[in-house]
Amino acid sequence: MNPGDKVRFTSAGAHERYPWFYPAPGTVGTVDRIAEDHNIWVRWPDGSTYAPYLWCCSKYHVEVVEE
């Protein structure tokens, strides 16, 4: 996984617990940056989360979308 890659959010549990932070499963976003731990920053589509479109999430909650 690299910056610029498209990823699909897969964690229904995270979305159900924190819908303001995590989009609905199946939402596709673009990796903005990768942290040194297991987190990535993803640009989600406007309106898919409560706050602005860029959020940190675990790389284990997404899958790379092959084009």
Asked whether residue 36 is domain-assigned, the answer is yes
Asked whether residue 22 is domain-assigned, the answer is yes
CATH of the domain at 33: 2.30.30
Asked whether residue 1 is domain-assigned, the answer is no
Whether 19 contacts 62, CB under 8 Å: no
Q: What is the pTM of this model?
A: 0.87
Determine the pLDDT at residue 32.
92
The string of pLDDT tens digits covering residues 6-50 is 999 999 999 999 888 899 999 999 999 998 888 999 999 988 888
Indicate the number of domains in the chain.
Answer: 1
**Taking 80 as the threshold, does the pLDDT of residue 52 lie above it?**
no
Range of the domain at 21: 6-64
**CA distances (Å), 65 to each of 5, 7, 8, 47, 51, in order?**
8, 5, 6, 21, 24
